[in-house]
Amino acid sequence: MKTGNEQEACHAHDEPVASVKKQMRNRETLLDLAEIFKVLGDHTRVQILDALSQSELCVCALAELLNMSSSAVSHQLRVLRTAKIVKFRKQGKHVYYSLDDHHIENLMQEGLDHIQHG
């Protein structure tokens, strides 16, 4: 239970709280954003994104670059595809992956900038 002084101090913030509340994004949007950050929170997936930011690649090329099995890379690509972070195209028997759009590349660059200059 708040004392009289605590209640007075809280009421002093009523205006900024109301203003921020109007501007905050809805719960569903923030849950979606949290999910993207969760997907990006895996070292292997970030390595895949780093490689794909350089060039479109097939699973076997990614597996060679990361020194992993094709099945392990495929699993991570499935997670990234589900989150709409990477896209793919088929050419014959090969499937080539790339970043879904420039937003992903920008997100990675912002993170790198934060690390280097933060």
Q: pTM value?
A: 0.82
In this structure, are residues 57 and 115 in contact, taking their beta carbons and an 8 Å threshold? no
pLDDT of residue 11: 73
Helical pair 43-54 and 59-66, crossing angle rounded to 10 deg: 120
101: domain CATH number is 1.10.10.10
Q: How many domains does the chain fold into?
A: 1
For residue 45, give its domain range: 41-117
Residue 98 forms part of a structural domain? yes
Assigned domain for 47 exists: yes
Asked, for residue 89, whether it belongs to a domain, the answer is: yes
| Per-residue pLDDT tens listing for the chain (118 residues) | 556 566 566 776 888 888 988 999 999 999 999 999 999 999 999 999 999 999 999 999 999 999 999 999 999 999 999 999 999 999 999 999 999 999 999 999 999 999 999 7
Q: How far is CA 67 from CA 48, 71, 114, in A?
A: 11, 12, 28
* Structural domain includes residue 100: yes
Q: Any idea what DSSP says for residue 13?
A: T
In this structure, is residue 66 part of a structural domain?
yes
The answer to whether residue 77 is domain-embedded is yes
Which amino acid, 27? R
**Residues sharing a CB contact under 8 Å with residue 14, sequence separation 6 or more, in sequence order:** none
